[in-house]
Structure 1
Amino acid sequence: MRQYLLSIYQPDGPVPPPEVLEPIVRDLQALNAEMQAAGAWVFAGGLHPPSTATVLRAQGEEVLVTDGPFTEGKEHLGGFTVIQAPDLDAALEWSRKLARATTLPIEVRPLQGEDAEMTCQPSQ
């Protein structure tokens, strides 16, 4: 089975109020449980705000370290889920459910590699 990264993009700004956020969290937890029961769920995580990011850029022999996100934008990566699915159509179906649960845009990308199985080996 192939693995896919489902990236969740959210608008910059304050966290929504509890009456908006609580149903989203509930729906997301239910979807994660559904993915786990189906054997599709591999890993998921939410991210702290972009202001907590640190970016490193190689410049010759030096590596420049800067605070903040890689690019300024109106949206940022807020979280992600890694799933395994037999094909893109199946990955897109899980992504539709994730978009409904989070009410946010989802980017779907296959992981590289023949089966794209998780390994602890660095890519060559």
Structure 2
Amino acid sequence: MTKYLISFPSAAMVVPEEELQAVSDASHTVVQEAKDAGVWVFGGGIDESIPPVMVDADGTVREGTYPQTARIQGGYSVLELPSYDAALEWAAKFAASCRCAQEVRAFQYDPAS
């Protein structure tokens, strides 16, 4: 089976303050559904209060990130699914619960992971 990344940037989720708990509850329901179905691998939201750093091969840590990833933020779920169509179905569930469109990407097969 293939692992799929289903994600959205923080800015895409525009929800009134009074509806945040309902959105949170709905998304946790979809997460539990994925766990119950045995397809959940990992998920979570990026803690945007902690800035990214770069760690070089020699262990040197420096502020910043790659220019193309400077804006990585939002929520991510990794599911292991039998097909691309199944990934689209799960993405639709997350889109409904989070009230925003979800991006779907497939991980390349790696027999070691």
Coarse TM-score class (shorter-chain normalised): 0.7 to 0.9
Deviation at 1:69, TM superposition (A): 8.5
Q: Which residue of 1 aligns with 2:52?
A: 54
Judge conservation of contact 1:5–1:81 (CA < 8 Å) in 2.
yes
State the TM-score, normalizing by the size of structure 2.
0.77
What do residues 46-88 of structure 1 show as CA deviations (whole Å, max 9, x unaligned)? Answer: 1111x52224287xx9x68224785566xx5212110011110
Q: Which residue of 2 aligns with 1:105?
A: 101
Stretches of structure 1 lacking an aligned partner (at least 5 in a row): 120-124
Matches within 5 A, 1:1-124: 1-11=1-11, 17=17, 19-49=18-48, 51-56=49-54, 65-67=62-64, 70=67, 76-113=72-109, 116=110, 119=113
Stretches of structure 2 lacking an aligned partner (at least 5 in a row): none
Structure with the largest fraction of strand: 1
Please state whether the residue corresponding to 1:39 is helix, strand or coil.
coil
Return structure 1 stretches of 4+ with deviation > 6 angstroms. none
Structure with the largest fraction of helix: 2
Q: Which has the larger radius of gyration?
A: 1
CA RMSD of aligned residues (A): 3.0
State the TM-score, normalizing by the size of structure 1.
0.71
Judge conservation of contact 1:53–1:68 (CA < 8 Å) in 2.
no
Indicate the percent of aligned positions where both proteins have the same amino acid: 32
